[in-house]
Structure 1
C-alpha cells in the first residue's frame, strides 16, 4: 500500500519526533571546503528564486528535498538531492500525476546555469546512485571532494512492507562521482552499522574530517559524530562515545536531541555552530542553532534563528543545510525543505516541493539589561492529558514557555506556543517533564526560570469519526475524519468486503485529518477505519466507512517512436502515461495488408523490443496502457520498415581439402547461411564467381571443378539484409584423374598394346597417337576408351609411334614404340 510520494516526504519529517513509527532517512549539509567564491556571498532570495525558475522551466528537474551543496575545484557547485520529481509542471503550475520519481539526483551549477544529473537514460531516468535492488534505494547525505572525485555518503533504505512508512535503515554506503564528468563510480558499504544514518554533515577541521549523523529513537532524534584522519571518507572511522573516541560503531554516543533528518555544523569564529530544524516539536516552524567549543560538544542553546512562513499556509517544513561558504559576511545562509500533508495540495502546486533559503545575522546580538526570570512557576498534570503551567505575571511583558521530556532523553528545552499561563498539550503518558518560563519585553528575552517538573497522565484518545470516503478514478480513496484533541497521528485500516476479508489490513500512519490510500482493486467495495495515536496509546477503531473503488482505464500514450535495430527487431519507446502501469504493444504486417493486430506483447516499462521481423517489409505498431480497470485507448499508429543489417563479421579459419576433383570447405562463423566465391587461377580468371546456391552451416563441398586446376576460394555470411565481409582467401589444387604408369609394346605385325593404371574408374579416356617417323600431327581416336588398355592396329613396320592419354583438357606425357 502506497499513499503516494508526498506521504514519504512528509513522513520523513514527521517520524523524527514520534514514537510509533521510525523512518530513518538521509540528511546532509554542505560547508566551506574552499574559500568563498564571492566575498559578498549569495542572497537567500536569489537562491530560492533560482531553483523555482529551474523547476518551472528546465523540463527535467521538477522539485526535490535534501539540499546539500559541494563547491568544486573548477568553480562549479554540486547540489545533492534525495527524492526527486522529474518533468515539467502543467501550464497551471501543478505537478503532473505522471511525473517520474527517482530517489536521488544532483544538479550542477555553473554560474547561473543548472544541469540535472540522474542515472539511467533520458527516456528511462533512474536514481543517480543505484542499489541494484528494487526493494532498496539510496537517500543522499553530505559529500566532500577528494582529489579528482566527489565522495558522497548515501544511506541505503530497505522496504519492509507495502506501506509508505515501511522502511528501515539498512546501511550507510560510500558513493563516488568522477570529476569533471560526474560519472558515477561503484557504491561500497561502510562498516558503520545501521543505528545511525551517517552523512547529516561532513566537516573538515584541522587534521580530521568529522561526519555527523542522526539516530531516531522513540520521540527523539539524536545527533552523533564520527571522524576520519585526513579527508578520505573511506579511511577507518572513529566514533565519539561521549567521553572518548572508539573504533566500535556500536559505542557511538548521543550529542544532543532535537535535530532534524539533516542539519549543518560549521566552525564560525571560535565556536562550532549546529543549525537544525527544531525537531523536538512536531510540525514546528522554527529553525534553531546550538553552539559548542569543540566538534563533539557539549552544545548550548537553542538560539532561535528563523520561523518559516509556509506552515501558516498549512504546509510543513523540515531539514536544514548550512551553506557557510555562500553566506554573506556576518550571516548564516540556511536551506530547508517544504511539503504538504494533503496530497491534492502537494500536486496542485509544484513549487511547494522545492528548497527555500533564509539568512540570519550571526553571532546573535545580546541585549544589555533583560527582564528577570518569572517566579512561582508550577506545573501539574491535567486529567485530560495536558499540563497546566502557571507563573507570576507582570504587566507589560510577554512570556515564553519551554518544555523538556526527561523520560525521552530530550537534552535541551524547546519553546512551546502560547504566552500566558494555561494548558500545554501533546504529552506522553508516564513521561517526566520539566517546564521553564522566560519573560519578554522591548529589550528582549530574559533568562529561563527555575524548572517545574511533573509526570504526565494521558488517557488513550477517543476514536476519530470517519466522515467520508471519496474514491477517485485511479483506484485510490481519500479518507476524511474528525479532529481528535491532542492527537496528530492516525493509523488507517481497510478490509475488502467483496472478497469477504475478515481481518483488517494496515494502510499506514498519517498526520492531519485526511489521507489518500491505494491503489486498491477496481470494482471492489472496501470498509475503512481509523485509530487515533496519542500520548496515552491507541484509540479503538472508528466506525467504518465504505467506498467502492473505481479505476478508470488509462488514456492513450503519445505517438511511439520506432527505431530499427541491426538484428531485424524494432525498438519502440513512448511517453509514460502514469507511474506503475503496464503496456500492451500490438503489431501488424502493413506490407501484407494485414488488418488483424494479433496477440500483444507486454511491457512494464515505456520501451519494447519486437521479435526479429522480415527484412524490407513495413510494420505498424500501437501501444495501450493497462491498469486494474482494463486496457486504455490505443496510441496513434507508428509505421516502420524493418531493416536487417548484413552480417558484420567475416568468417574465419577457412580450410580447403581436395577430395579427387572435389574440394571440401570448412570455416568458423556465427551465421547460418554463407556464399562461396571461387576463381580458377590456372585458367587465368581475375574475378571471383559466386556459387549459385548458398551453403547452410559451416561446411560445403565444391564439385564440377577442373581436375588439376588451382582455385582460390572465399566465404561470406549472408542474410536477407545482404552479404557480409568476405573471409581471407585460400588456395587449393584439384586432384588430376589422369592415369599413371603409361606403357606401350609392339604385339605383332602392325599392332601395339597401350596400358596404364587408372586413378579413377568412372571416367572415359581419349587416346591420341602420331607417326613420329612420318612427322605426323597428333590425332585423336574417335572412340572413347573404358578401362586400362588400348589396342593399336594398322601400324607401319619400322615406323616409330607415340601414344598419350587425354582426359578433359589434360594429357599424359607421351610414350613411344617401333612397330614391327
Structure 2
C-alpha cells in the first residue's frame, strides 16, 4: 500500500493510521515530469544484482522474522519500518532498504517513546546471519532520511535496487504533502539514488525523466542482459502493473517501456500488464518461468497473497494462484506490500516479505512488534491436485443485479455432496485483468455479491471445492451494478482533544465504507469548508487545528452510488494543552564567561523559552532571557564573573508555555587573557614631551593597562595608568624632553590581567 509521512499522526480513522489504509481504496498519486537534474549530498550514515535463487542453504522465514524482531527490540537504533526491499552486495553483505522508519529504543514492554525519531527512508546492513547496523542520514542525535529531498513537505519512499559495478543504484519515488489529511499527498516522480561501494555513501540523487503516471521500482529483475523495472499505476482504487527495462544494471541508462507488443522509448506508450498488484510486488525467474507475487489488491484490505506466472518478464501472466493468508489481519491489523528475496531463499521455495500495520494509531507507540516485516516461505512450483478427485464445475450460473449495490448469484450444484463454493469476480469496467476469489465462500447454491460500484459491469464465476482442492470454474455470468447514493450520516458529534485535535463521530451506514470529513474555521470566518480526508469506520481524528478556534464539522458518505448529502454541521473548539517540561538541561561554563545550555526536545515543532536568575546577586525571580526559538541550545552571555546563575527551560506550543524544567546551576567564570599584546610600538608623538603608543588587539580582552617608567631618571618600576585604555592606542604627554622611557601594555578582562608585553624604549623629543 501507499503510505504517508508524519501524516500518520494527522488524519486518522477513529485513532487509526489512515495513511496506509486508504490508498488501497483511492488512487492518489499524481506524478509530475521531472527534469534531469543532478543533486549531490554528503555521505550518509549508511539488491539484488541477479534475480536467482540462493545456491546455499538460505535462511528460513521464521528466522528472518525473528531476526528483525530482535534487532528492533534491542539495537537501540531501528525499531520498525515498512517496504522491505533487499539487495545482495558483492562482499557477501545484504542491504535491506526501508521506507517510513521509526528509530530509537524500545522498552521491555515493547513500547517506544513518543519522541522517537521518524524518517521516511532508511537501510539496515546484514552480514552473515546478523543485522549489523542501521543506515540513515544526519547524525545519531538528529537522524534524517537516508535519501533526503531537501524540500519541506516532500520525501522519498524506496522502490528497489540493483548492484551496478562499484555502486548500488536504487529507485526512489518522490512524494509531496498536499494537505493535512491521510490522502493528502501526491507522487511527483521517480529518482535514481547512487550509493558508492563498499561504504554505501550516498553520492548522487538524479531525478529520472518520468511522468506522474506510474510509481516505478515496485521490483527490479536482472535477466538476459537487462534490468527490468516494474511499476504500479493507481487508477480509481485499482493498481496496474507496468514494465520498463534498461540495458545492463545502470538505471540511469536509456529506459524502454513495454507497449503490449514490443518496446518503446516513450513512457506514454507503457501498457498495463495486469491489475491487482500492490505498490510493491515481487518478480522472480524460476526455471523457464517468471513468477509475479503480490498481495491480492483486486480486493480492499485483503489478507491474501497470490502469484501469477508467465514465460517472459512482460507476460502475459496467468493466474492468480492462491499462496497464503496473512494471519495478522485476524487481530484487526492490515497487511500490504510484497517482495521476493531470492538471495536468501532456500531451494525449492519462494521467500516472501510483507508489511504489517495497525488500525490503531496508538500501537505505533504501545506495541512496536506490529510495524515490522514478516517473512513467509512458499513451496514452488506449487503441487497440483489430481483432477480426478476434484469436484466438477457448477453449471447454469446466473447473476441478477439488485438495487443496493449487490448482485445475487444462483447456480446448479455438480454431482456429489459436501461442496464448498468459491466465488470469483472481475470488475470489467475498472479494467481488472483477472478474476479475483472473494474471501467469502458458501455451502449453498446462491450468493449475494455486495459492495459493487454503481454502473460497473461485473463478471462472475463459481467453483466447487472439497478436501482435495478446488475444481474448475462454472460458466461466466454478467451483471451491471446499480447503487443509490448513501444518505447523510446521522448522530454526528465532535469532541475536542488536548493536542489541537478533534475526533468526529457518526452513525454507521450499511454498505458504506468511505466517509469524507470537512471542517470550517468559524473563528477565522472561513467560508468554504476544507476536506480533512477520507476515512473508514465511524470516527475520524482531525489534527493540526488552531488553539482556541471554533470549528464546524460535516460528514459525507461515499458509496458505490456516489457521494451523498452532507450531515448537519456540529461545532467544536480546538484546544492545545501546553507541553510537558523538558528534562533537566545541562549547563557548561566556558572560559569566556558564557554558559551554554542544552536540553532534549520534548516533541517536534515546539519552541523553547529560557529563564535566568543571578543567585550571587540575590535575585529571587527568574527573568525571561530567550523568548522562544526552535532549537534546543542557548548560550548565556554578558554575565558577571564568578556569579552563580540558575536556569530553567519551558517548551512552548499554541497553548502557551508549559511547566518549567528542573533548574540547573552554573557559575560564570572568565579566564584572564593568556597572552601578552603583540605588535607594541612606541614612537615620538606629534609634539614635544609626547609619545605615541599602539599595539595589536588581544583576543578576549575588555581593555588594556599601559605602564611606563623613566629610565633616564632611574625609575626601577613601571607606573600603571590610573585609567585603562579600551582601544589599542594611546598618547603619553608632559614627559621630559631628552629622557628615555620604557612602555609596556597588558590586556585584561573580568577574569583578571594577562601577561605584559615586552617593554619598548623611546626617547622623548
TM range (shorter): 0.7 to 0.9
Say whether 1:396 aligns with 2:414. Answer: no
- For residue 798 of structure 1, what is the aligned residue in structure 2? none
Q: Which has the larger radius of gyration?
A: 1
- Residue 305 of structure 1: SS of its match in structure 2? strand
- Distance between the aligned counterparts of 1:318 and 1:285, measured in 2? 8
- Distance between the aligned counterparts of 2:479 and 2:12, measured in 1? 35
- Select the residue among 171, 176, 195 that pairs with 1:177: 195
The alignment yields a C-alpha RMSD, in angstroms, of: 4.0
- Select the residue among 54, 71, 76 that pairs with 2:71: 54
The 8 Å contact of residues 32 and 323 in structure 1, kept in 2 or not, is answered as no
- For residue 9 of structure 2, what is the aligned residue in structure 1? 4
Q: Cα deviations across residues 134-153 of structure 1 (Å, max 9, x unaligned)?
A: 12112122122334443332
- For residue 132 of structure 1, what is the aligned residue in structure 2? 150
The 8 Å contact of residues 54 and 346 in structure 2, kept in 1 or not, is answered as no
- For residue 81 of structure 2, what is the aligned residue in structure 1? 64
- Select the residue among 564, 571, 579 that pairs with 2:604: 579
- Residue 447 of structure 1: SS of its match in structure 2? strand
- Distance between the aligned counterparts of 2:598 and 2:49, measured in 1? 44
Shift in Å, 1:537: 0.7
- Distance between the aligned counterparts of 1:405 and 1:56, measured in 2? 43
- For residue 818 of structure 1, what is the aligned residue in structure 2? none
**Structure 1 residues 37 and 19 mapped into 2: Cα distance closer, same or farther (>3 Å)?**
closer
- For residue 417 of structure 1, what is the aligned residue in structure 2? 439
The 8 Å contact of residues 21 and 334 in structure 2, kept in 1 or not, is answered as no
- Distance between the aligned counterparts of 1:199 and 1:698, measured in 2? 67
Shift in Å, 1:317: 0.8
- For residue 455 of structure 1, what is the aligned residue in structure 2? 480
The 8 Å contact of residues 3 and 163 in structure 1, kept in 2 or not, is answered as no
- Distance between the aligned counterparts of 1:119 and 1:647, measured in 2? 41
- Distance between the aligned counterparts of 2:742 and 2:633, measured in 1? 49
- Select the residue among 400, 411, 427 that pairs with 1:405: 427
Q: Cα deviations across residues 437-479 of structure 1 (Å, max 9, x unaligned)?
A: 2222222222333322222211112233346544433332333
* TM-score, normalisation: structure 2: 0.83
- Select the residue among 655, 660, 675 that pairs with 1:634: 660
**Structure 1 residues 10 and 334 mapped into 2: Cα distance closer, same or farther (>3 Å)?**
farther
Shift in Å, 1:363: 1.2
- For residue 310 of structure 2, what is the aligned residue in structure 1? 292
Say whether 1:597 aligns with 2:622. Answer: yes
- For residue 529 of structure 1, what is the aligned residue in structure 2? 554
- Residue 50 of structure 1: SS of its match in structure 2? helix
- Select the residue among 84, 109, 119 that pairs with 2:126: 109
- For residue 497 of structure 2, what is the aligned residue in structure 1? 472
The 8 Å contact of residues 516 and 555 in structure 2, kept in 1 or not, is answered as yes
- Select the residue among 187, 202, 207 that pairs with 2:205: 187
- Distance between the aligned counterparts of 2:675 and 2:298, measured in 1? 68
- Residue 216 of structure 2: SS of its match in structure 1? strand
- Select the residue among 19, 25, 32 that pairs with 1:18: 25
- Residue 376 of structure 1: SS of its match in structure 2? strand
- For residue 311 of structure 1, what is the aligned residue in structure 2? 329
- Distance between the aligned counterparts of 1:571 and 1:386, measured in 2? 69
Aligned pair count reads 724
- Distance between the aligned counterparts of 1:177 and 1:646, measured in 2? 50
5+ unaligned residues in a row in structure 1: which ranges?
Answer: 684-688, 738-759, 761-820
**Structure 1 residues 494 and 95 mapped into 2: Cα distance closer, same or farther (>3 Å)?**
farther
**Structure 1 residues 16 and 503 mapped into 2: Cα distance closer, same or farther (>3 Å)?**
closer
The 8 Å contact of residues 479 and 515 in structure 1, kept in 2 or not, is answered as yes
The aligned runs of 1:96-495 (5 Å cut-off) are: 96-110=113-127, 111-369=129-387, 370-394=390-414, 395-420=417-442, 421-466=446-491, 468-495=493-520
- Distance between the aligned counterparts of 1:309 and 1:372, measured in 2? 31
- Distance between the aligned counterparts of 1:36 and 1:381, measured in 2? 47
- For residue 103 of structure 2, what is the aligned residue in structure 1? 86
**Structure 1 residues 602 and 332 mapped into 2: Cα distance closer, same or farther (>3 Å)?**
farther
5+ unaligned residues in a row in structure 2: which ranges?
Answer: 1-5, 33-46, 713-717
- Distance between the aligned counterparts of 1:116 and 1:344, measured in 2? 25
Shift in Å, 1:672: 7.8
Shift in Å, 1:362: 0.9
- Distance between the aligned counterparts of 1:657 and 1:233, measured in 2? 72
- For residue 781 of structure 1, what is the aligned residue in structure 2? none
- Residue 395 of structure 2: SS of its match in structure 1? coil
- Distance between the aligned counterparts of 2:325 and 2:157, measured in 1? 27
- Distance between the aligned counterparts of 1:648 and 1:410, measured in 2? 81
